[in-house]
Chains A and B, each alone.
Chain A
Amino acid sequence: MGCFEKLLTFSGLKRPVVSEFRTIYVNHKPLGSSRDQPLIEEKYPSNRIITSRYTILSFPVKNLLEQFTRVANFYFLIVAVLQLVIDTPVSPATSIIPLVFVLGVTAVKQAYEDFLRHRADDRVNNTPVHVISGDSMARIKAHEIRVGDVVRVHKNESFPCDLILLASSEESGECSITTANLDGETNLKTVYSVEETKRLQTVEAVCRQLRAKISCEHPTSDLYKFKGNMLLRRQRRSEKPEKVPLSAKNMLLRGAVLRNTEFVQGVAIYTGQETKMQLNSQRGRSKKSVVEKRLDRFLLCFMVFLLVESAFCTVMKWVYVSVDAGISGAWYLPSESAQPWRVVQDFLGFVVLFNYLIPISLYVTIELQKFLGSIFFEFDLEMYFEDPETGEKFRAKANTSDLNEELGQVQYLFSDKTGTLTENRMTFRMCSINGNTYCDVDGQLWLTEEGAATHQCQQLNEAELKFFTVLALCHTNGVSSVTVPDGHGGFVLQQYRVLQVLEFDSDRKCMSVILQRCTDGSYWLLTKGAETSMLEKCSHGDRDAVVKHSGDFAVEGLRVLVIACKELSPALYQQMAAQLLAANQDVANREALTVEAYRVVERDLEALGLTAIEDELQTGVRETITDLRAAGIQVWILTGDKRETAENISLSAGHFDDTMQRIRIVEQQSQAGCLAEVRRGREEISAGDGGYQQAGRRYCLVVDGQSLQFLVAENSAELKAEFLALCQLTSAVLCCRCTPLQKARVVAMVRNGVEPKPVTCAIGDGANDVSMIREAHVGVGLYGKEGRAAALNSDYAFARFQFLRKALLFHGHLYYVRLATLVQYFFYKNVAFITAELFYAFHSGFSAQSLYDTIYLTIYNMTMTSLPILLFGIFEQHVHRYRLYQEPELYITIASNRLLWWRDLLIWCALGLWHSVCCHYGVVAVLAVNDQMGINATFNYGVFEFGALVVQCVMICVTLRLVLVTYSINVPTLIGLVVTVVGFILVMSVYNIIGVNFFAFNNFLWVYFDINKQPVSWLIMLVLTAVSLTPDLLLKCLHDSRNKASMKELQVPEADM
């Protein structure tokens, strides 16, 4: 029965039985004292971390399967199989060898990546750890930890799995950790032991005394939430086990590091892949760039053309056979009849012959080009930042290389404000106490009137004293004493006991501490928070001054915090403490109960005043925004900040300017209201337009979160459309008071709503920007002070907002131009190569005789034409790099995938066709007159000599065409050319001599040497190259003259001449 159920579960027919909670026996010992009862423990995964995707055994199969899920690879597999089945005009080697090559290159790349992952995994998994097992301490490898083991971690070690803290070397049972690896926060955090176990500091104590069972929730990815409880039984006591609540405060997460504490002991609850760190490190959706989407359509188009071409040739073949005397009367040919299978084979034969229209190595070349290109992104010194404060060093980082070219296509930029545009370094600037305002002048407190400092405060009055006392005590750092003036010129130390810390959350938008004053035992609640939430909570104090001054400060771009306090009655405190305790013990409803408990005390506060903190703009923000706008990028700022602050920052960041008319849609309570406002805004713009076109550019739009809620709601298509239309009429948009979800919604609205579909980019630094970063086409994360979440979830990450300019205008632009040219070139070179086969069909009676030998069909894309274009894709700079910085308008010239329009593809293909015509018919023009053109009259250009000559012409043409479209001919480019030519000669010489017998196609013996011995071959190549490349030369000339005409004077810094 049990076996059968397991089988059902295993085969997915039956849902596995999952208990609501995870049950863990600490140190694998039963709770009950009776030893005869066997301990039934659930099985959990080992602590082995697996970020690698393959093992040595699974690699060949798994990797191959993965690669064949790509349409192009699968297509070529089918073609190869076809070639083995049908009467093929060219050897199956022409498909199989390139396919193996392409698969091989990709496999090597992926194997290397996986090797690095394996190595990293092994280092983690084999780290020695100390585990209390049985009755003693043992040293084992990290991956051997099982759930329920008691692990001892020493100072400055990182935790090998998620642990519940049992005891630490400290008497208090506390320990300090840093969680930089998890969320990037570098401050020390305190984790608390369970009260009942904190004295079990020795191995013996744990083994002898600890009998406990932990029930906790199943693993989740939320780093800050954990619910559970522990049932404890001291060995000598046999009464009912105690139930102790567990929370995130008791939890040591894998990846965090123990600081300032000699050692800790904890019980493993989540291991390996189930640790919160692993659950958080999964990557998001894979994004596909516009170039790739266009590429797929190109491929489809070529595939259709291939089929049409093949069908045409098949029809022509049988028309020739039945009508044309040249073939029908050709007694020397083995006869054929039009059996259906014969016709099908002919069709497939032509498909195989013209198959080169679909460039097999395109994807692998793109992959290599992007991968190598992204390495240069990380090399960029101008995007490298050393934080002068912390000394941290940040390289720019490309988390993916799939979207490189998308950086060159951005049309909408959504930027966070705090920490992205600003430093996120809070500097105390002003405060308001009791209706007076004060400011900070070189560390001294000055009283101000009308914004000007009047005199320095020598002595603090009572209100001021109270204000600063609260300010000094109301935080989570655990300071519990404050030195205050005693009113007689001296100072006294006031001591407080911290009873509760009511931590900040984004719903309450405030935080509080509850203190007990040591001198008189009175209870105090000190609170600070955003003014919108605090005003509701404050019932007395100078509320009007708070409202007035918070507005004044915000206008100056300062962030405002309201400071409030109240004395709690002991009864109220006891009630609240009881509520909190109850909440802590209730695993299921902990949050709700906690908030309820907070609400009881956080009301009827006395507003003491407010502080105004400045968050300075980062350097270069203004220039960056100006340049990006000049580059045709619509910049939107999405911030959680209040409107006045946000508008002000927008002004100083150059997002808004004074000449812009502001349209505000704020504080709307309904959809209808929003709609009216939006319509009013549109009317205002059309009225103020005055008939001339650029007038709309002077408007900017301010929207707040409350109104946004209606504007971006799922069910308001009409309103959304109107709103988008309004947004497109304005030149700058600012959304303030946004929640993270609203940020993502705004991005999604633009992404899906604007026609033609734009490319969006989101940049942010905090965890609240992650959803927006993931939503946008390109997500950019800044290494911020608020942690690494944004950088980890982004596609590209760097340290400063101003680097965006280089990332988009320089790297993005170049990536795009390179890739677009690469894609076009690939189609071009294959058209130039394979169309001659079609022309030759007219000469060979549509018999599918291949013009080219197997070797050329095999190596054309592999070695003959691949390296120069790959190097082009990495090193090309089509204009001088300073031009890219100085003329952001150049970015517009490549907008909307400009280089990959169908028209451009057509131009490239037309050139390919022309080159093919020249190379084929040029050779025909000479050899049709007389094919006895050797240095001695006995040499004759036969089928294979003819094809070899054409292919050499084609190769020269396509290589020189690449040289013509290259604007930066540098050492790697030249090396690429030399290697290609030398490689070609070597490969051909070897093949030529050994006459490789690929599937019995061995007609090529000595052909390569023979034709290159003939001066006629060289003259033909010379003349045909000249005539082929004439249009290319003219086009380049046209293109360059146009560019030169529009070029401004280039200013190159001396250092870079």
Chain B
Amino acid sequence: MKQMEYLFLFLEQNCVIANNMGEEVKLYKTWSTPFGLRVVWALKLKGIDYESIDEDLSNKSDLLLHYNPVYKKVPVLVHNGNPISESTVILEYIDDTWKQNPILSQDPVERARQRFWAKFNEEKLLPTIWAIFTTEGKDLEEAMAAWVENLKFVEEELKGKKLFGGEKMGLADLVFGWLANLIGIFEEVSGLKIVDERYPLLLTWMQVFSELPVIKETWPPHDKMITKYRALYEKYHPAK
């Protein structure tokens, strides 16, 4: 009996006791996907223990196809055998299921605000950054013009706030998070300046966000990312 007591004491003092003992949580993602990383952050924030499965998208596993037959994409969260797809749906599921360290406040106006900006990222920022990365000439000019328009709104939204969530990180920060890592990588690979000094609040947010305990040191390996995105860039900009 005493041995068991010592064992439990040792475990309590030395191990992170996950907030989901007895529940099975699996996350299907890839090593580089920013959409999967959002979910990693949310699970980390809530102290949820999970099994991470990195997929090779050129050879998707049967389980992934079984869990996400509609889109066949990552990330997919599987909780006690129940699959959830689409990263923003997963984030809200995580917040609904595990109540500690909420990513959305209880105030309905605040919840709507963060959801609005999360959607803005998906509908406006992501397609524009893709256009910037993959096009040239007049198409690139148009993409950059659209990007500038979009960033103005984002910069405005950060006025008076430390983070998009306010004092603490929230849903919108998790969704915008890719900016803090991928903008630097895209700029290095393309030679373009994508977020410049016209956006001081956004630049500050990128630094502050990266330094948060949950986010720090979670980025995929830098060299591996440069190699990957350089190859992708060259695919869309073949040397003449």
Do A and B pair up? The answer is: no
Residues of A within 8 A of B (CB): none
- B interface residue numbers (CB < 8 A to A): none
